[in-house]
Structure 1
Amino acid sequence: MFDNQLEQQRIEKANAFRELGKNPYPHALTKDTTTETFKTHYAYVCERDPQSDQSATSTIAGRIKFLRHMGKAAFAKIEDESGILQIYFSKDVLGETWFGHVKKLIEVGDIIVASGFPFVTKTGELSLHVTHLELATKAIVPLPEKFHGLQDKELRYRQRYLDMIMNGQVKDDFKLRSKVVSIIRHFFESYGFLEVETPMMHPIAGGANAKPFVTHHNALGIERYLRIAPELYLKRLVVGGFEAVFEINRNFRNEGMDHTHNPEFTMLEFYWAYHTYEDLMDLTETLFNTLLDALNLPKHLPFGEEIIDFSNSFTRIPYQEALVTIGGIDPAILKDKVAILKKLSADGFEANPKLSLGHLHAELFDAYVEAKLINPTFVTHFPLAISPLSRKSDDDPTIAERFELFIAGREIANGFNELNDPIDQYERFSGQLEAKDAGDDEAHEMDEDYVRALGYGLPPTAGQGLGIDRLVMLLANRHSIRDVILFPAMKPLRKEIQSQEEGTV
């Protein structure tokens, strides 16, 4: 560790500080302003003559991103969370001995604390004229070369801390993410929703069609499942008397990874008694308008090569109508499994011939419709076969009172009127068990306690889930989910695999 030549040289410099009686990793160093506040507060210096104010003193801390020595003086750029500021220090002010040590031992990547007064350089840049400078942290690993930066995507995701140091936009994206979550939280609180927390480890995998991660509880000697979704627990709370609840937290699905999927991801789920899925669509549309306004984003939002139009009401279209008018599917084949399978096969798509008609409709939707839904679109009236927790339509028992919201060709949210008939729910869970026995690894398990909870009475309720990661991707114009998750899942490096095989980690 830290065994290459440049790292060894920096370790030697850290030791040189110790020989001077100075700890290269001191504590109790403080600052009284940020770089951004400094530039805002002392902007008046640019308008006065002389262009300095030696009566105004500030202490700033930051990482050195640029350093240029010029004999008896030096310029540096230091960066903190708010931005970058230029500083100037000289032998005349710091003293010959200390200036010599600074010049020899402090370098790009180190974190310093500098005090001084504001002044304007000959090039017109507001800067800090340093009167006192201390090393706060000696960096042992050099930063990547300045002009090429950190370009390797894999390295950026594996070493997010370095990515943040080298790429300022990364920090901006995650500040945006934090704001999005905060706005959502306050939005639901303003509507009277109660924020709750439900278990992360479940005795039964359920709440969504997905493969779970399995863990073992040593004390109880039983298996537990990292939650796929909080849905069944949140609805238990509605049974218990909370009429409007929401949760923002992690879900875990043991599935593949791609630009829109990570095995752990953040979801908003909320449930609203005495409301319908039409109310949820209205609320979701209001939420998006609130987000765009609060974040000062345009109603015509760029996303890659597309411009997403949020200026009009979101489109609402039934599932089968979308297959026909958007997907170009001949309506004559929608009730014919053989014809659907033939259509899919002819166009190069594979589908299990054992799938139900509703599941084959889903295959058609995925193949011919989803990617075309660019502007915000609520697709409604889903097949009941792919909606095991949704209330069935009173007009058509093959249809669920359910919608999904699509934007930029991908699903953003899923909502429906909740099934609150305990007998119907028990029968559907039983059907899911048959599907699991037939090879559907994502089918729901039987959750008898949840059915029992429904037996006590779930009021008419609508519920929805919204993917926070995909939402932030959309708002930040990022096209990989890894760009909006601080520490995304990554394939192990070869040396990590070797260490695990040898039992060293």
Structure 2
Amino acid sequence: FIGAEGSIFKTKTGEITLNVSNYDLLSKTLRPLPEKWHGLTERELLYRQRYLDLVMNDGTLERFLKRTRIIKSIRNFLDSSGFVEVETPVLQTKPSGAIATPFVTHHNALDLDLYLRIAPETYLKRCMAGGFEKVYEFARSFRNEGLDPSHLQDFTLLEYYAAYWNYEDNMRFTEDLVKHVLVEVDGSLELVFGDKHINFDHEWRRVPMSTLIKEATGIDIGKFSSARELKKAIENRDIEIHGIETMGFGTLTDNLFKKVSRPTIEGPLFVIHHPIELSPLARRNDNNPAVTDRFQLVVNGWEIVNAYSELIDPIDQRERLKEQAELHSSGDSEAMVMDEDFLTAMEHGMPPISGWGMGVDRFVCLLTNQENLRDVILFPLIKPLIKPLTKPVSGPVEDSEQDKDDNLKTTQGAV
């Protein structure tokens, strides 16, 4: 890096040029950039050395600047709608707020096992119990689950909660928010994703989860009263679901939907009325108490938003958490556990609430035409190499053949 001073002029071809009268060396560059014409193209290196990707590929820098504009647009829309941004704990004594497997850590000073949050939900609801009417948080969240292009263990989750709303109000607001961001950031209500043209310029359809599963498999989940019976129906149709043996009814239904229905949805589509076993924090539907007032926004086979009318009855909530805790004890690692502090807050009283969560990274993928979440996260987690990617500058520039072999063994399947 060089600092220069002098007079500015234009060449005969109109190029703005600096006639340097003095210069200083600001910092040293000890390594060369990748070769100019071929650039940095190997996918794993793009993730491991994102700083070089940003320098060499203009499209990468623009993609992350667009991510910033998307988040800013969402935040401004929420602020202008009367929401207040808050912060809640990342380290929690109970893994709650979603059905997922948590990461476990240890607090040395307190000699206490803690969990990285899987969602900020129960703490945001505590805010509602304290008198906030509309709150939101962009929350880094962590789930110790499968790794694929549409799932990461460390991701950005946006959640908001609004008093005196129900899930119908929330669906209307969701349409308004998403359409606002599309127009403000892209200037259009049509997204190009790969070879697809996804049109958002209409009223989005609403279809019950049970209807989508029945259309795909012929299985009517509403007719089953136990996980054992549903497992048998799934196995009779040769549908393979990993870990089916330990799943409760709710987790089983969710995995069945993800396997046979969700990948086929181009969207935007609101999937509504999830089974109550799958939604331990959601309000029962008045017309059918076996399902909840819940919806998911699905686009391109991805769940972008999950939302519902919140359960605010502490007695009903306690019973549901007891059922979840029993499932957790019997081996369902994604089931929730009892959270007495959260129940105590509910017992002090909460207004009617509708809550909402968005996978921000997936939403950014849609707006930037990226199929892999790692392409919209600056520094995604990747398994470390056995040997350093490069040698110190005082040593040879090239890796030895043995280093290359060792790293190949490490990186296979790492991304």
TM-score, with length taken from structure 1 = 0.72
Q: Paired residue for 2:111? A: 221
Note the 1:38-187 alignment, pairs <5 A: 110-113=1-4, 115-121=6-12, 124=13, 126-132=15-21, 133-187=23-77
Are 1:111 and 1:139, in contact at CA under 8 Å, matched by a contact in 2? no
Find the aligned partners of 2:147 and 2:168 in 1 and give their Cα distance: 32
Indicate how the Cα distance of structure 1 residues 330 and 170 shifts in structure 2: closer, same or farther if over 3 A, else same. Answer: same
Q: Paired residue for 1:270? A: 160
Q: Paired residue for 2:353? A: 461
SS state at 2:354 partner: strand
Bigger Cα Rg: 1
Q: Paired residue for 1:53? A: none
Find the aligned partners of 2:355 and 2:93 in 1 and give their Cα distance: 22
Note the 1:393-432 alignment, pairs <5 A: 393-432=285-324
Are 1:341 and 1:353, in contact at CA under 8 Å, matched by a contact in 2? no
Find the aligned partners of 1:173 and 1:494 in 2 and give their Cα distance: 31
Q: State the shift of 1:333 in Å.
A: 6.9
Find the aligned partners of 1:271 and 1:332 in 2 and give their Cα distance: 32
The aligned amino acid for 1:399 is: V
Cα root mean square deviation, aligned: 2.1
| Range with greater deviation from structure 2 (126-135 or 251-260) | 126-135
Q: State the shift of 1:154 in Å.
A: 0.9
Aligned match of 1:244 in 134, 142, 159? 134
Unpaired runs of 5+ in structure 2?
389-402, 404-415
Find the aligned partners of 1:265 and 1:388 in 2 and give their Cα distance: 23
Find the aligned partners of 1:323 and 1:466 in 2 and give their Cα distance: 23
Are 2:213 and 2:220, in contact at CA under 8 Å, matched by a contact in 1? no
Q: State the shift of 1:361 in Å.
A: 3.1
Counting aligned pairs with the same residue, the percent is 42
Aligned match of 1:448 in 311, 323, 340? 340
Note the 1:297-446 alignment, pairs <5 A: 297-325=187-215, 327=216, 329-330=217-218, 335-336=223-224, 338=229, 341-344=232-235, 346-350=237-241, 352=244, 355-446=247-338
Indicate how the Cα distance of structure 1 residues 150 and 250 shifts in structure 2: closer, same or farther if over 3 A, else same. Answer: same
Q: Is 1:235 matched up with 2:125?
A: yes
Indicate how the Cα distance of structure 1 residues 488 and 455 shifts in structure 2: closer, same or farther if over 3 A, else same. Answer: same
The size of the alignment, in residue pairs, is 385
Are 2:219 and 2:233, in contact at CA under 8 Å, matched by a contact in 1? no
Indicate how the Cα distance of structure 1 residues 358 and 253 shifts in structure 2: closer, same or farther if over 3 A, else same. Answer: closer
Are 1:333 and 1:340, in contact at CA under 8 Å, matched by a contact in 2? no
Q: State the shift of 1:364 in Å.
A: 2.9
Find the aligned partners of 1:376 and 1:267 in 2 and give their Cα distance: 19
Indicate how the Cα distance of structure 1 residues 135 and 455 shifts in structure 2: closer, same or farther if over 3 A, else same. Answer: same
Indicate how the Cα distance of structure 1 residues 111 and 410 shifts in structure 2: closer, same or farther if over 3 A, else same. Answer: farther
Aligned match of 1:279 in 140, 151, 169? 169
Q: Paired residue for 1:502? A: none
The aligned amino acid for 2:380 is: P
Indicate how the Cα distance of structure 1 residues 167 and 444 shifts in structure 2: closer, same or farther if over 3 A, else same. Answer: same
SS state at 2:63 partner: helix
TM-score, with length taken from structure 2 = 0.88
Find the aligned partners of 1:115 and 1:324 in 2 and give their Cα distance: 73
Bigger relative contact order, structure 1 or 2 (CA pairs below 8 A, ≥6 apart): 2
Indicate how the Cα distance of structure 1 residues 460 and 149 shifts in structure 2: closer, same or farther if over 3 A, else same. Answer: same
Aligned match of 2:85 in 191, 195, 220? 195
Are 2:271 and 2:295, in contact at CA under 8 Å, matched by a contact in 1? yes
Find the aligned partners of 2:3 and 2:52 in 1 and give their Cα distance: 18
Indicate how the Cα distance of structure 1 residues 118 and 281 shifts in structure 2: closer, same or farther if over 3 A, else same. Answer: farther
Find the aligned partners of 2:362 and 2:220 in 1 and give their Cα distance: 35
Describe the superposition over 1:398-421 as per-residue Cα deviations: whole angstroms up to 9, x where unpaired.
101101110011100100011111
Are 2:138 and 2:156, in contact at CA under 8 Å, matched by a contact in 1? yes
Note the 1:20-39 alignment, pairs <5 A: none
Q: Paired residue for 1:292? A: 182
Unpaired runs of 5+ in structure 1?
1-109, 499-505
Find the aligned partners of 1:216 and 1:151 in 2 and give their Cα distance: 40
Q: Paired residue for 2:408? A: none
